[in-house]
Amino acid sequence: MCAQTYCGIDFGTSNSTCAIYQAGGARLVPLEGEKFDMPSAVFYEDGGDVLFGREGISAYIDGEDGRLMRGLKSMLGTALMNERTVINGRATYFKDILRAYLSHIKKRAEQAAGEKIEKVVMGRPVHFHDDAPDADMESEDVLREVAGYIGFKDVVFQYEPIAAAFSHERLIQNEKLSLVVDLGGGTSDFTVIRLSPSRQAQDDRLNDILATSGVRIGGTNFDKRLSMQSFMPYLGFGSQYGTTFDQSKLLDMPTSVYQDLSDWPRVHFAQTQKALNETQQIRRTSLAADKLDRLIHLQKNKLGHAYLQQAEQAKIALSECDAVDMKMAGLGYNFHVPVNVNELHAAINDQIDKIRMTMLQCLSDAGVTAHDIELVVLTGGSSELPVVNDMVRKAFPAADLSVNDKFCSVGLGLAYTAPQVFR
């Protein structure tokens, strides 16, 4: 194997990218057709193939029988990673599902390189979990174990915002004190770093990195908030029902089924026979039986991912318009969900504030002020939201703003760093 062939993998909560470094240069790997980014999704067809990314999501939503898994990265450092779930009649560890997905990416990288790749730089958030160092270490350990299992002999980790910085560094002409704002699907990460063309070739960039910070909030958290506020009430969230023995005594509808339906990794738990039985029992005395019928329809027909996808698409659409009307006829419903940008902002306002405070903490840790920052690198899919762009522009009105390649800069930056870390 050529000693100068390396791989960089940005395994994301919502999407993943990969790049290889070969013959003195780095390039992105097409993971799905000609697309460089691929949804972090695995679909197990009943008795059939294992599909990945958009192909798997489409097969599931189009009615193929099987099990769809999304948001695997958010399970790292949780008890779920050591548990098993039934797939095609067999108990399967979530860790094995993670192996299947990352193995698929590795195969794509080796096809692009024309040879086996044994050295990889894996991206990681500044914190997998907030204020939980043990869970944070466990998350990295699991990724290292999985990478080794699928054939990588040397595994190094790099913070995702630092990788994004090194990718964007190739676009600037002069030295700039920079802040990277990396808002992904599961986390928001920041780094204050000195970037310049002359520093690119240095093996040791430690002194250029002034501070890093992060918080476990990202696009999937926004999906959940919007789903709970605007979409779940149509399925009975917030309604009441009578008790079996005294129907004049009203109880609030349990929230657990709605929480699961609004959380990508947990959608399956809302569609089990046990969850369906509980909904059917409550429906008998529900004051919103018509809405519970919709919920039962969703649970019976395994439409949870498709329903949550409507919330995600509404969030994305509100990046370009003030209001959107999400029609549910394609899921067998006769209602539509109107959503406006003010509702989205109300749903996620406190989370945006936490992101802003974490960003400002990074500046404080670096010993600089907002006025010192000359360049802001905005990357990650969640940075598309106007509320995020407004927050950044207000905080750094004098800085240049770089928004080049928001979805692939981390993966490319990881490959760029490989020659230095493996030298």
pLDDT in tens, 253-304: 999 999 999 999 999 999 999 999 999 999 999 999 999 999 999 999 999 9
Encoded amino acid at 188, one letter: S
Residue 246 lies in a domain: yes
- Spatial neighbors of 229 by CB under 8 A, at least 6 apart, are 343, 346, 347
pLDDT band at 1; cut points 50, 70, 90: very low
Residue 375 class from Cβ within 10 Å (0-12 exposed, 13-18 middle, 19+ buried)?
A: buried
Q: Is residue 259 part of a domain?
A: yes
The pLDDT of residue 22 is above 80: yes
- Among 191, 192, 184, 193, smallest CA distance to 216 is for 184
Nearest-10 Cα torsion for 383, 386, 389, 394: -150
pLDDT, mean of residues 8-17 = 96
pLDDT digits (tens, 9 = 90+) for 230-260: 999 999 999 999 987 666 789 999 999 999 9
358 domain-assigned: no
Flag whether pLDDT at 324 surpasses 90.
Answer: yes
pLDDT of residue 321 exceeding 70, the answer is yes
Query: What's the pLDDT at 403?
Result: 78
User: Per the structure block, which two tokens stand in for 385?
Assistant: 């939201």
Domain assignment of residue 16, yes or no = no
pTM of the model as a whole: 0.92
Helices (H), 262-302: 273-283, 289-300
Asked if the structure places residue 22 within a domain, the reply is no
pLDDT digits (tens, 9 = 90+) for 71-130: 989 999 988 888 888 888 888 999 999 999 999 999 999 999 999 999 999 999 999 999
CA dist., res. 418 & res. 395, Å (int): 33
SS3 1: coil
For residue 404, the SS3 value is coil
Residue 296 included in any domain: yes
pLDDT classification of 143: cutoffs 50, 70, 90: very high
Q: Which domain holds residue 339?
A: 220-345
Sign of CA dihedral 371, 374, 380, 385: positive
Q: Is residue 323 part of a domain?
A: yes
Residue 374 lies in a domain: no
Based on the structure, what is the number of domains in the chain?
1
**Residue 422: is it exposed, middle or buried by C-beta count within 10 angstroms (0-12/13-18/19+)?**
middle
Strands (E), 222-265: 240-242, 250-252
DSSP strand E in 196-348: where?
A: 209-215, 240-242, 250-252, 323-327, 336-340
Report whether pLDDT(24) > 80: no
